[in-house]
C-alpha cells in the first residue's frame, strides 16, 4: 500500500514564523508553501505582505515605458512561443532602424523614461545590428533608459560577432545599453528547458551571461515562466538559483513571475503542457518568491499583461509591490493569447493602486523616483543606491 502523501500544513506552520523573523526556510518548507490552500494560503500571503511592507513600505511602483519588439522572425523553435515567425510567414516583420527611431520619439514625447527592446533571433541580422539599434535609440532620445536584449539575444550577438559575452556586453554599454531583461530564463532546469526550447541556451549559460552583465555594472531583472511542464520543485530550485546570483552580485532589480500564456502556444496545442498557472498558483508564486528572496531582492513585480488588473490587485496584497510598465505596445504575450490588452495609461495604474489603499509612485527602470510637474513634464529623476539587508 503506498504511503500517504505528506500534508503541507505542519511544514507551512513551521515556515511562516521563520519567514516573519527573516530566518531561512528549508526546501521542504518552501515546497509545502507552494501547496498551501484555504486558510494556509491566506496566512502565506499575509506573511509575504508583511515582508513587503518592511522592505518597501506602502508604495506600489510602476514605470512609464514602451516595448519595442523589433522583429518577430525567429528560428530557435521555442515550443511555448507564438510570437516567432519564419521570414515567409504573412505575419512576420522586421522594423527598419527609422521605424525603431520613430517609436522611440513617440515614447519620449509621451513621457516614457524607458524603452524595452527585445526581438526574435533573426538569422539574417548581424550581431552589429544590436549596436545599431542602441545607436538609433540614443540618437532619437538621448536621455531615455534602454532596457534591452535578453541573454539569448546576447548569446546570439556575441556569437555572430565572434567575441565573448563580456566583450559584447561592454560594446552594448558603450552604445547606450542601461539594463537587460532577465527573460529567456523560463525555468532554470535543463530537463524542463529541453522540453520547452530544445536548442535554446542552457541554464548555466543564462547564469553566466547575467553574472557577466552584473559584473560590468549592467543590472537586470530576474524572471520565471511557470505553469507549463514544470512543478513546484523546479520553482524552488529556480528561485534559490536567483537568490545565489543576487547574493554574489546584487545586480537584480526585481523578480518577475510570468504565468505561461497557453492559448496559441505550440506545446499546449500539442497536448504536452497544461493551460498556465492557476490563480492560486500565481498567488503562491509571488508570496513564496517574496519569502525566499527576503533581504536580497526588494521588488516583486506582478504582470498585469499576464493576469489582468483585478487579479494583480489581489497579488499586490500578497507580497508584490510593483505593477511593471505602461508598455504602449506588447506583442509577445498578445500573440500567445493574452487577454488583458497591450497598454495602460499611468492614471489607470495609479487608480488601481489607490483602490487597494496603497501609494502609487512612478519609478525608473532601476527603482529610482520620477517627479513630474502638473503638466506631466519630468522635473527630477532621483536614482537610489540598492539596499540589501543581511539575512540569517
Q: What is the mean pLDDT of residues 262-291?
A: 92
Q: Apex CA 184: angle with CA 348 and CA 362, to 5°?
A: 25
Condensed to tens digits (0 to 9), the pLDDT of residues 213-271 reads: 999 999 999 999 999 999 999 999 999 999 999 999 999 999 999 999 888 888 888 88
Q: Which range is least confidently modeled, 165-174, 263-272, 331-340, 350-359?
A: 331-340
* Bridge partners, residue 300, by sequence: 255
- Return the higher-pLDDT residue of 14 and 174: 174
Q: Is the pLDDT of residue 188 over 70?
A: yes
pTM of the model: 0.92
378 pLDDT band, cuts 50/70/90, is very high
> How many Å apart are CA 222 and CA 146, to the nearest integer?
17
CA gyration radius, the chain: 20
Looking at residue 89, its pLDDT comes to: 87
Q: How many CB atoms lie within 10 A of CB 350?
A: 18
Looking at residue 9, its pLDDT comes to: 73
User: Can you list the domains of the chain with their CATH numbers?
Assistant: 55-382 (3.20.20.70)
Q: Is the pLDDT of residue 10 over 90?
A: no
> How many Å apart are CA 165 and CA 163, to the nearest integer?
7
Nearest alpha carbon to residue 238 among 280, 177, 200, 190: 190
Looking at residue 339, its pLDDT comes to: 53
Annotate 43-96 with DSSP letters as a single string. HHHHHHHHHHHHHHTTEEEEE-EEEEE-B-B--S--TT-SS-B-TTSTT--B--
For residues 50-77, one letter each, b for 16 or more C-beta atoms within 10 angstroms of the residue's C-beta and e for the rest, the string is ebbeebbeeebbbbbbbbbbbbbbbebe
Q: How many CB atoms lie within 10 A of CB 213?
A: 26
Q: Helix (H) and strand (E) counts for the chain? A: 16, 11
- Cα 110 from chain centroid (whole Å): 23
Nearest alpha carbon to residue 260 among 238, 275, 271: 275
> How many Å apart are CA 88 and CA 272, to the nearest integer?
27
Q: What is the mean pLDDT of residues 20-26?
A: 95
Q: Is the pLDDT of residue 53 over 60?
A: yes
Q: What is the mean pLDDT of residues 50-64?
A: 98
Condensed to tens digits (0 to 9), the pLDDT of residues 143-179 reads: 999 999 999 999 999 999 999 999 999 999 999 999 9
Amino acid at each position: 500500500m503506498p504511503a500517504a502523501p505528506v500534508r503541507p500544513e505542519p511544514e507551512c506552520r513551521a515556515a511562516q514564523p521563520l519567514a516573519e523573523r527573516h530566518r531561512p526556510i528549508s526546501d521542504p518548507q518552501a515546497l509545502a508553501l507552494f501547496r498551501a490552500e484555504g486558510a494556509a494560503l491566506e496566512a502565506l500571503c499575509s506573511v509575504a505582505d508583511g515582508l513587503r511592507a518592511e522592505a518597501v513600505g506602502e508604495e506600489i511602483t510602476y514605470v512609464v515605458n514602451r516595448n519595442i519588439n523589433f522583429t518577430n522572425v525567429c528560428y530557435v523553435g521555442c515550443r511555448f512561443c507564438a510570437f516567432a515567425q519564419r521570414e515567409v510567414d504573412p505575419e512576420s516583420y522586421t522594423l527598419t532602424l527609422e521605424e525603431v527611431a520613430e517609436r522611440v520619439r513617440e515614447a519620449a514625447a509621451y513621457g516614457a523614461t524607458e524603452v524595452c527592446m527585445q526581438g526574435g533571433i533573426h538569422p539574417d541580422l548581424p550581431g552589429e545590428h544590436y549596436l545599431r539599434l542602441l545607436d538609433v535609440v540614443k540618437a532619437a532620445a538621448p536621455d531615455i533608459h534602454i532596457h534591452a536584449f535578453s541573454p539569448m539575444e546576447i548569446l546570439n550577438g556575441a556569437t555572430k560577432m565572434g567575441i565573448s559575452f563580456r566583450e559584447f556586453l561592454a560594446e552594448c554599454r558603450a552604445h547606450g545599453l542601461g539594463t537587460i531583461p532577465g527573460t529567456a530564463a523560463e525555468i532554470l532546469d535543463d530537463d524542463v528547458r529541453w522540453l520547452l526550447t530544445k536548442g535554446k541556451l542552457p541554464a548555466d549559460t543564462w547564469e553566466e551571461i547575467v553574472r557577466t552583465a552584473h559584473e560590468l555594472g549592467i543590472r537586470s531583472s530576474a524572471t520565471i515562466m511557470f505553469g507549463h511542464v514544470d512543478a513546484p520543485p523546479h520553482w524552488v530550485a529556480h528561485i534559490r538559483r536567483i537568490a545565489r546570483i543576487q547574493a554574489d552580485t546584487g545586480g537584480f532589480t526585481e523578480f518577475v513571475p510570468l504565468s505561461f500564456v497557453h492559448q496559441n502556444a505550440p506545446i499546449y496545442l500539442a497536448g504536452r503542457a497544461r493551460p498556465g498557472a492557476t490563480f492560486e498558483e500565481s498567488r503562491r508564486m509571488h508570496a513564496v518568491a517574496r519569502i525566499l528572496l527576503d533581504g536580497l531582492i526588494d521588488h516583486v513585480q506582478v504582470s498585469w499583461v499576464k493576469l489582468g488588473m483585478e487579479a494583480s490587485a489581489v497579488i499586490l496584497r500578497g507580497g508584490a509591490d510593483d505593477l511593471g510598465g505602461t508598455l504602449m505596445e506588447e506583442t509577445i504575450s498578445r500573440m500567445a493569447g493574452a487577454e488583458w490588452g497591450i497598454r495602460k495609461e499611468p492614471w489607470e495604474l495609479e487608480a488601481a493602486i489607490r483602490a487597494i489603499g496603497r501609494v502609487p509612485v512612478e519609478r525608473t527602470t532601476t527603482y529610482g523616483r520620477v517627479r513630474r510637474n502638473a503638466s506631466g513634464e519630468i522635473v527630477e529623476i532621483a536614482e537610489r543606491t540598492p539596499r540589501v539587508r543581511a539575512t540569517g
